[in-house]
Chains A and B, each alone.
Chain A
Amino acid sequence: MLTRMSRMAVASLVCGGALAVLVPAAMADGRDPAYAAARARGEVGEKMDGYLGLSGPGNATLKRLVDDLNLRRKAVYTEHAQAQYATVEDYAFTSGCNLIAATVPGEKYQGPDGVWHERTRAAPLRDARCP
């Protein structure tokens, strides 16, 4: 009885642990695994203009992924820019400021010099107009 109980307890703990690890990871970014992996590898980076770019040599699959996400981003930017009485470029640029600030070490981002940088523990190099 005890063994059975303890087994169940262990199983539930393991399951709970697995869920605790998996769920926040999925909930936290909600990103497509291929996109998340490309980001983590530094193949895809955040550009200053609020869109994604290929920071490495890239390939057709990655390019399609980036193009698709950028189109969806543009749709979101357009909708919110209209609500804020701003241009899509302004809204996208502001989002770019936030997105570059939100990169984690190892990810790539475009600096004000137009060159790809790898995010370190230090603050990223951002445009002077970023808040």
Chain B
Amino acid sequence: MNNPELIFRTKVRHPLATRLRRAGRVDRRRWQMAVWSAATMAMCGVLSGCITVNAPSKPIVIELNINIKQEVVYRLAADAGKTIQNNKDIF
């Protein structure tokens, strides 16, 4: 007859269960902190999402020569100058 109670008690008093419960208390604090930080991050996300970006009034100039290196330009300058001198009809 007492068998179920006994089983219950033994279950509650089981050292592993106690350990888990104690650990649970610590975990709850951690969990709360995690929830708060997540909420803060979510708010930040929401706020940053609210920033409006206006279209620029000036036309966007696409810089096609952005990948041209200065050292290459310096290397080619003398030869390019000669080429211009030798092809005056097209320059």
Contact = CB atoms under 8 A, between A and B. Distances in A.
Nearest to A79: B83
B61 to A, nearest CB: 4
A91 B65 CA distance: 11
Interface stretch (B14-22, B30-38, B49-57, B66-74): B66-74
A2 B83 CA distance: 51
What DSSP secondary structure best describes chain B's contact surface? helix
Contacts, number: 73
Interface in B59-91: 61, 64-65, 68-70, 72-77, 79-81, 83-84, 87-91
Interface string A19-44: 00000000011111000000000000
A90 B76 contact: yes
Given A49-B64, A98-B84, A114-B61, A93 B73 contact: yes
Interface string B1-30: 000000000000000000000000000000
Contact of A30 (B61, B75, B88): B88
Interface of A: 28-32, 48-49, 69, 72-73, 76-77, 80, 83-84, 86, 89-91, 93-95, 97-99, 102, 113-114, 127-131
Interface of B: 61, 64-65, 68-70, 72-77, 79-81, 83-84, 87-91
